[in-house]
Amino acid sequence: MRAMQPYETLDAVPAPLLDIRDLRVSFDTPHGLVKAVGGVSWSLSPGETLGIIGESGSGKSVGLEAIMGLIKSPPGHVSGQVLFDGRDVLTMAERDRRQLRGEKIAMIFQDAMSALNPSLTVGTQIAEVYRLRRKCSQAEAERKAIELMDRVKIPSAKTRVGCYPHEFSGGMCQRVMIATALALNPQILIADEPTTALDVTVQRQIMTLLAELQREDGMALVLITHDLGLVAETVDRAMVMYAGRIVESGPVDALFETPTHPYTRGLIRSMPRLDGASGALHAIGGTPPAAGRMPRGCAFHPRCEQRVDRCLTERPNLRMVAKGQAAACHLAEETRHD
């Protein structure tokens, strides 16, 4: 049996649904070329839930935008491979890429109300792509919109289908977004911080809804968030991103029980505990590096309590540290998985 490559901790089974290989994204800025995502690889299998954890600026959202082909080519530069059903999204024609969006991969965003067009009705927006792709009538499209609104549990869908986004609350807007995403039955749903702008109770409702829909449709879910609690509850596998790279990855239980990378450990430690055992709240000192001002060596070393000299000069690569778990740290012991 060959040794499992580090990036393969994030490969579930052969023939994955989505296969990312060495994705890199950089941008031209007046201050020079800035790297947002550097060499990221992972994959997703049908029906599974993957979590991507990171702070702002870690490259988590940019990476997913690149996957959907939404990065404008100047000033952005994308390289690597994004294989969906064997076809590379990055080398596809724009027309084919656009076909994928909505039908195979859909995305929902953080601030749902501002992600909706304020001057179009909710019904129009939900069924818009459905109507364009299936070439159906307006009545048919409206019927579909009502059906989707019912699925996401928006009350009085028939009367509210002609309402405008500003007439809905934040949680309801997010449901509208989910309905829009589901319109063409995609195989993958990417949720970029779907609950960050919402109250805790509403968060719960939205996540429950997503889980339900996932179960019903067999959809894969990629959940991008900085909220560890959310990850712990909903996700099968997860990866932690920092400064545009993956620093740790693995099954979610292992990640929480035996975190290897100091950043992951810091994140978990800074979660307050309800049983009062946390004592003083812990925080990771310092701030993430600004894009374009990467430290030499390991990007995390300025904030790391355990750094050694090697960390200042040499950047650690992702290495296997336990079964199915990988981390990018010089101090993590490398184990080989047989």
Partner 1 sequence: MPYLLRRFMQSLLLLFVLISFVFVVGRIIGDPALIMLGTSASETALDQLRENLGLNQPIWQQYLVFLGDLVQGDFGVSFRYGFSMMPSDALRAEGTPVLPIVLSRLPATFLLAGTALVLAFSLAVVLGCLAAMYPRSWIDNLVNVISLASVSVVQFWLGLILIIVFSVQLGLLPTGGYGSWQHLILPALTLAARPLGRISQVVRSAMLDELSKPYIAAARAKGVPEWRVVFVHALKNASIPIVTITGDELSQLLTGAMLVETVFAWPGIGLLLIDSLGRRDLPMVQAGICVVAALVILVNLAVDFAYTVLNPRIEMDNRGGRA
Partner 2 sequence: MTAVDAQTLPQDEAHDRAAAITSRAYFGALMRDRVAFVSAIFLGLLLIAALGADLLAPYEPNQANLRARFVPPLGTARDGGFHLLGTDELGRDLFSRLMHGARVSMSIGLLGALCSGIVGITLGVLAGFYRGLLEDVLMRAVDGMMALPSLLIALFILFVIGPGFGNLILIFTLLHWMVFARMARSLTLNHQQHTYITAARAIGGSDRRIILTHLLPNMISPLIVLFTLEIAVLILSEASLSFLGFGVQAPQSSWGLMIARGREYISSAWWLVVMPGAAIFLTALALNLVAAWARAITDPVQRWRWLTPPRRNSQPIDDED
Q: Looking at beta carbons only, is 158 or 296 nearer to partner 2?
A: 296
195 binds partner 2 (CB under 8 A): no
b/e per residue 280-295 (b: at least 16 CB within 10 A) = eeeebeeebbebeebe
Q: Report the residue from 14, 32, 118, 285 that binds partner 2 according to the rule CB under 8 A.
A: 32
Amino acid at 222: V
Q: Could you tell which of partner 2, partner 1, none binds residue 106, using a CB distance below 5 to 8 A set by kind? A: partner 1
CA angle 221/227/233 to nearest 5° reads 55
Q: Looking at beta carbons only, is 39 or 47 nearer to partner 2?
A: 39
296 binds partner 2 (CB under 8 A): yes
Cα 187 off chain centre by: 15
Q: Looking at beta carbons only, is 145 or 254 nearer to partner 1?
A: 145
Tokens of 49: 């839930």
Tokens of 276: 């009062």
- What is the spatial distance between Cα 55 and Cα 58, in angstroms, rounded to a whole number? 6
Q: What is the DSSP string of 86-134?
A: TEEGGGS-HHHHHHHHHHTEEEE-SSTTTTS-TTS-HHHHHHHHHHHHH
294 binds partner 2 (CB under 8 A): yes
- Contact set with partner 1 (CB under 8 A): 68, 70, 98-103, 106-107, 109, 111, 114-120, 128-129, 132-133, 164, 166, 177, 180-181
39 binds partner 2 (CB under 8 A): yes
34 binds partner 2 (CB under 8 A): yes
SS3 174: helix
Candidate ranges 3-11, 26-34, 135-143, 274-282; the one touching partner 2 (CB under 8 A): 26-34
Q: Looking at beta carbons only, is 55 or 128 nearer to partner 1?
A: 128
- What is the spatial distance between Cα 98 and Cα 290, in angstroms, rounded to a whole number? 32
Q: What is the smallest separation between the CB atom of 6 and partner 2, expressed in angstroms? A: 14
Q: Looking at beta carbons only, is 177 or 241 nearer to partner 1?
A: 177
Work out the end-to-end distance of the chain between its first and last CA atoms, rounded to an integer number of angstroms.
7
Q: Looking at beta carbons only, is 100 or 247 nearer to partner 1?
A: 100
- What is the spatial distance between Cα 230 and Cα 228, in angstroms, rounded to a whole number? 5
Tokens of 313: 């000069």
Q: Could you tell which of partner 1, partner 2, none binds residue 260, using a CB distance below 5 to 8 A set by kind? A: none
Q: Looking at beta carbons only, is 165 or 244 nearer to partner 2?
A: 244
Candidate ranges 2-10, 150-158, 174-182, 287-295; the one touching partner 2 (CB under 8 A): 287-295
Q: Could you tell which of partner 2, partner 1, none binds residue 31, using a CB distance below 5 to 8 A set by kind? A: partner 2
Q: How far is CA 292 from CA 31, 69, 194, 244, in A?
A: 8, 23, 28, 11
- What is the spatial distance between Cα 239 and Cα 228, in angstroms, rounded to a whole number? 11
SS3 26: strand
Q: Could you tell which of partner 2, partner 1, none binds residue 140, using a CB distance below 5 to 8 A set by kind? A: none
Residue recorded with tokens 């986004």: 165
Q: Looking at beta carbons only, is 129 or 210 nearer to partner 1?
A: 129
Q: Could you tell which of partner 2, partner 1, none binds residue 269, using a CB distance below 5 to 8 A set by kind? A: none
Q: Are 191 and 227 in contact (CB under 8 A)?
A: no
Q: Looking at beta carbons only, is 31 or 135 nearer to partner 2?
A: 31
Q: Could you tell which of partner 1, partner 2, none binds residue 315, using a CB distance below 5 to 8 A set by kind? A: partner 2
Q: What is the smallest separation between the CB atom of 125 and partner 2, expressed in angstroms? A: 30
Q: Could you tell which of partner 2, partner 1, none binds residue 70, using a CB distance below 5 to 8 A set by kind? A: partner 1
Residue recorded with tokens 């990629």: 222
β-bridge mates for residue 2, sequence order: none
Which residues of the shown chain bind partner 2 in the complex (CB under 8 A)? 26, 28, 30-35, 38-39, 292-294, 296, 315
